[in-house]
Amino acid sequence: MSDLARALAHAELVHDRTAIMQAIARMADTIRNDYAGSRPVYLTIMHGGMLFAGQLALELGARGLDLEFDYLHATRYRGDTSGGALLWKHRPATPLRGRRVLITDDILDEGHTLAAVRDWCRSEGAAEVRIATLVVKRHERCVPGLHADYVGLEVPDRYVFGFGMDYHEQGRNLPQIYALKE
């Protein structure tokens, strides 16, 4: 049995695909209204944010909001379950000076990576930086002063995977979100 199969056998479904897609559609309505009349830089944090960001971008396009796409790859995990120092694998090429930036990622857990990326965007001269995450983990350990401006769903304070989030680099492409049982 693979590691992913074992994880699924010891996990519960937290959000199915229908709930995820409905949450993304709700987020798109709000974001479209907030960015009306502008073309934000749409920064996706790889790899986890890719599935969510793609779906959200399509929903925003369906609502008439144009985006300028770029991405970044910064990680603290490198396949582990706890993070270390931030490692930049790719920085965005789009100039951010004077621009509105929307960072998209799969999860806001404690927020160390998102805080570092937000601060980097500000240091590059972004006029505004907002954060959209598919899920936020329910706990009180987040980096002080960090929050997601747009949130799709909440997940329990357990190891979660699926829809961009991995279980030891596996299962990112699962169309649902699971949490390991305690």
Is CATH 3.20.20.210 what the domain over 17-70+92-157 is classified as, yes or no?
no
Q: What is the number of alpha carbons within 13 Å of residue 47 lying toward its C-beta?
A: 15
Q: What is the number of alpha carbons within 13 Å of residue 64 lying toward its C-beta?
A: 4
Give yes or no for residue 39 having a pLDDT over 70. yes
- Residue spans of the domains in the chain: they are 17-70+92-157
Q: Rounded to two decimals, what is the model's pTM?
A: 0.93
- Report the pLDDT value the prediction gives residue 153, as an integer from 0 to 100: 98
Instruction: Summarize the confidence of residues 129-140 as an average pLDDT.
Output: 95
pLDDT digits (tens, 9 = 90+) for 92-130: 999 999 999 999 999 999 899 999 999 999 999 999 999
Residues 6+ apart with CB under 8 A from 123: none
- Report the pLDDT value the prediction gives residue 78, as an integer from 0 to 100: 52
Return d(Cα 104, Cα 175) in angstroms, integer.
18
pLDDT digits (tens, 9 = 90+) for 49-102: 999 999 999 999 999 999 999 999 988 765 555 556 788 999 999 999 999 999
Instruction: Summarize the confidence of residues 165-169 as an average pLDDT.
Output: 93
Helix/strand/coil (H/E/C) assignment for every residue in the chain: CCHHHHHHHCEEEEECHHHHHHHHHHHHHHHHHHCCCCCCEEEEECCCHHHHHHHHHHHHHHCCCCCEEEEEEEECCCCCCCCCCCEEEECCCCCCCCCEEEEEEEEECCCHHHHHHHHHHHHCCCCEEEEEEEEEECCCCCCCCCCCCEEEEEECCCCEEECCECECCECCCCCCEEEECC
**How does residue 42 score in pLDDT terms, banded at 50, 70 and 90?**
very high
| Residues with catalytic roles | 109
Give yes or no for residue 1 having a pLDDT over 80. no
Q: What percent of the chain has pLDDT over 90?
A: 83
Q: Which amino acid is at 172?
A: R
